[in-house]
Amino acid sequence: MMTTASENAAPPGRGRTIPAEPEPGEEARSKDAFFVRVAELAEAMIAAHGRDFAIGTLVLAAKFIAEGKPLTARGNGSGETASTAGSG
């Protein structure tokens, strides 16, 4: 028996089951852990210096990532963050 398009377009919950989400893989668990770390860091920045500082820092980090700029000064071996201040 052939089904019609209207039968195939039944809204969710009416005669259709939603497949269960698969168990998160190692990559998903890793991403979740990083998200928790970023959230904790953002909360600490807000507590210490306010929302504007936290937002500015996270936006600046995103800009550096998008532009392929280093986030830390790796050349000096100290793990310091890259300076955003002008050299002049």
pLDDT of residue 60: 97
Measured CA angle at 83 (ends 79, 88), to 5 deg? 140
Q: How many domains does the chain fold into?
A: 1
Rounded mean pLDDT of 55-82?
Answer: 83
Task: Answer yes or no: is 55 within a domain.
Answer: yes
Check residue 84 and give its pLDDT: 55
Residue 88 CB contacts under 8 Å (≥ 6 apart), including other chains: none
* Position 82 in a domain: no
**Domain-embedded: residue 3:** no
**What is the domain extent for residue 37?**
26-68
pLDDT per position as a tens digit, 39-66: 999 999 999 999 999 999 999 999 999 9
Here the tokens at position 79 are 């793990």
| Tens digit of each residue's pLDDT (9 = 90 or more) over 11-33 | 555 667 777 766 779 999 999 99
User: Quick check: helix, strand or coil at residue 72?
Assistant: strand
